[in-house]
Amino acid sequence: MQLTIRNLSKTYSNGVKALQDVSLDIPTGMYGLLGPNGAGKSTLMRTLATLQEADSGTAWLLPSDGGTAGGIDVLKDKDAVRRTLGYLPQEFGIYPRISAVDMLGHLATLKGIPGGQNKEVVNALLQRVNLWEHRKKSVSSYSGGMRQRFGIAQALIGDPKLIIVDEPTAGLDPGERNRFYNLLSEIGENVIVILSTHIVEDVKELCSNMAIINGGMVLYAGSPEAALTELEGKIWEKAIAKAEIDDYQGRFRVISSKLVAGKPIIHILSEEDPGGDFRRAAAGLEDVFFSKIMAA
């Protein structure tokens, strides 16, 4: 299937334009939605998850051929969307004293899984996310990574065709993050998985297609590889003194600065060799992200 979004807009009562004519084509597979906090990512995810209304625009979940026959109007046919949706928000509530297996069983019942299949579905999901040995523990006692894996398990109830995960790896240690990456990659082989995050590494590791959003507007949509190609040969780096940062920002297009061993390393965007001991650097997805944000 594919998700087709056209001219989606949302302005809150306080005047904040959270979405401004957002148009995206999201195919089956892992799709990264990258942007800083407050960029509009969560507003878009909540709208697609039928949790809030858009002011204007359309969103359709369509067969892979792009035809509307058998498609779902995401903004209007919310019951149909919910039957085919798996959603893992950044924060999700649970009953503190209920075991994981009972909690999943309850959620499966709410999603319409009949009693005869309920136990089989729950057991299979717990094994898939590697929580079978911990199934009788309460979810409130889980570590951050285990809790996120439980979140994926509940999102997979009902064999969804569209899965939305919002900031899923925030706070996870490297080991749990890798396990989560592997699980998401496996899921994304057959369904649409939208990964909303501000962590560039998440998109780099997982996604074959991506969009960068800021201020409610789409600044880039395409593959990470194509975005990197745009910057090939245009990124230059140099180690400077902390006191020199303002001067360099005034003279060059500095897109990022990070401390390495206590000394700033700056990246600048330039079509030509800027001289002054700058050396050409391989473009990374962070360079893409910051260059698009600054250009907006």
Query: If you write DSSP's letter for every residue of 109-125 in order, what string do you get?
Result: HHTT--HHHHHHHHHHH
Q: Is residue 176 located within the same domain as residue 250?
A: no
| C-alpha distances in Å from residue 278, one per residue of 242, 265, 283, 292 | 16, 11, 14, 22
Phi, psi of 219 (to 5 degrees): -95, -25
Low-confidence stretches of the chain (pLDDT beneath 50): none
Asked if 163 and 84 sit in the same domain, the reply is yes
Q: Which of 177, 205, 222 is the last residue of a domain?
A: 222
- pTM of the prediction? 0.87
- Rounded Cα distance between 252 and 180, Å, is 39
- Confidence at residue 295, expressed as pLDDT on a 0 to 100 scale: 77
As to burial, measured by CB atoms within 10 angstroms (0-12 exposed, 13-18 middle, 19+ buried), residue 102 is middle
CA 108, 109, 110 angle in degrees (round to 5)? Answer: 90
Domain that holds residue 168: 2-222
Contacts of 246 (CB under 8 A, 6+ apart): none
Strand partners, 72: 61
The answer on 209 and 146 residing in a single domain is yes
pLDDT of amino acid 19: 96
In order of 41, 57, 224, 263, 275, the CA distances from 279 in angstroms are 35, 46, 23, 16, 8
Asked if residue 257 and residue 144 are part of one domain, the reply reads no
SS3 of residue 196 by DSSP: strand
Q: Are residues 108 and 177 in the same domain?
A: yes
288, 215: one domain: no
Query: Among the three residues 190, 222, 254, which one is the final residue of a domain in this structure?
Result: 222
140 and 268, same domain (yes or no): no
What percentage of the chain exceeds 70 in pLDDT? Answer: 98
- Is residue 50 located within the same domain as residue 20? yes
d(CA 216, CA 218): 7
- The answer to whether 10 and 18 have CB atoms below 8 angstroms apart is yes
Q: Which helix (H) or strand (E) holds 154?
A: helix 144-155
Average model confidence (pLDDT) for the chain? 89
Counts of helices then strands in the chain (DSSP H, E): 10, 14
43 and 182 assigned to the same domain: yes
CA atoms within 13 A on the CB side of 180: 26
Q: Which residues lie below 8 Å from residue 243, measured CB to CB, with a gap of 6+?
A: none
Q: What is the pLDDT of residue 183?
A: 84
pLDDT of residue 194: 94
Give Cβ neighbours of residue 133 (< 8 Å, ≥ 6 apart).
Answer: none
Residues 6+ apart with CB under 8 A from 64: 1, 2, 27, 28
Query: Quick one: 247 and 170 in the same domain?
Result: no
- Tell whether 159 and 269 lie within a shared domain: no
8 beta partners: 22
Question: What's residue 65's pLDDT?
Answer: 63
Under 8 Å between Cβ of 152 and 88: yes
- pLDDT digit string, tens, across residues 115-172: 788 999 999 999 988 899 999 999 889 888 888 889 889 999 988 999 999 888 777 7
CATH code, domain carrying 6: 3.40.50.300
* Domain identity same for 185 and 245: no
Q: Look at residue 144 in the predicted model and tell me its pLDDT.
A: 83
CB 283 within 8 A of CB 234: yes
Q: Of the residues 222, 237, 269, which one is the last residue of a structural domain?
A: 222
Domain count, the chain: 2
Rounded-to-integer distance, Cα 256 and Cα 253, Å: 9
What beta strand segments (E) does 45-166 contain?
56-62, 72-73, 85-88, 162-166
